[in-house]
Amino acid sequence: MPRGDLFPDIGPNETGYLPLSGGHVMYWEQVGNPYGVPVLFLHGGPGAGAGTVHRRFFDPVYWRAVIFDQRGAGRSRPLGSLARNTTQDLIEDIELLRVHLGVERWLLFGGSWGSTLALAYAQAHPDRVLGCVLRGIFLGREQEVAWFLYGLRQIFPEAHAAFANFLPPEERHDLLAGYISRLNDTDPAVHMPAAQAWSLYEGSCSTLLPNPDTVGLFARDRGALGLARIEAHYFANRLFLPPEGLLGHMDRIATLPAEIVQGRYDMICPAYSAFDLAACWPAAKLTVIPDAGHSALEPGIRRALVAAVERFRRQIG
């Protein structure tokens, strides 16, 4: 897939590991201008981890991009650990990282679960946020989780059949419980096939048109285990969000500027959540991409995200 609209490949100028609570260790890196305006990249999942392509959304001449793998994900250790792994823990981790790096305020950039975490962090620490660029909005509501587990069958019946039929017939009435029992098994011969089945399902439904490269990325062993195990854990616990949900606290960030980018045919995080969020956020601008699904690397999505970041650059000066 040509990605000429992203910035060129770039390596980090600093990396590190930061000890966290619960025996976790966070991987983090900084990319671009060490003296630039800070922007924090929040990956999806939960549990998916960040990749090298995510550095390319930010002009390295201007931005000081901070990228990290959330606890249990990617290069953070231990992989797939559920100990002390909640949304509140992740918010505390972000604050620990901010203080560690000496950042006063930063722009938040996140998609899918990254949009959820960005909203949760911004509501907890609005004074530390310059604004938000969010994609593929996921608000962690019960209907959104149910859509992922069961509703996607309406659009992707083959992918859903493979996902459901991984479990024996007597367990298919509760897909989440069936997967959790396997994903949390200590035997790799049990948890890895389940992780791959879960991740292949998500990858297969993430783009407007079939994309073997995207599916292949989801299927990699390490990424599949972190994504599937942690995502299932969060789903089973209502994403560790308050009963009133994220929309119940939008007053805390009502004046924060935001850009919301949403694929019209996003089947992982359907567009109604982006519209619900925009309706509660006077300072937000919603852009719907008419020919895109969920992935940040869909051509229209990635162009819109880069453009949104560049608009923030002009606002900040």
Catalytic site positions: 112, 266, 294
| Identity of the amino acid at 311 | R
Cα 226 from Cα 73, distance rounded (Å)? 5
| Identity of the amino acid at 110 | G
Closest CA to 128 of 100, 113, 107, 110: 107
168 CB contacts (<8 Å, ≥6 apart)? none
| Owner of token pair 């250790």 | 77
Does residue 115 contact residue 258 with C-beta atoms inside 8 Å?
no
Does residue 267 contact residue 203 with C-beta atoms inside 8 Å?
no
| Identity of the amino acid at 60 | P
296 CB contacts (<8 Å, ≥6 apart)? 54, 111, 135, 136, 302, 305
Does residue 134 contact residue 278 with C-beta atoms inside 8 Å?
no
The dihedral built from the CA positions of residue 296, 301, 306 and 308, taken in this order, carries a sign that is negative
| 8 secondary structure, DSSP code | P
Residues in the chain: 317
CA-angle at 69, arms to 272 and 128, nearest 5°: 70
H or E element that contains 65: strand 63-68
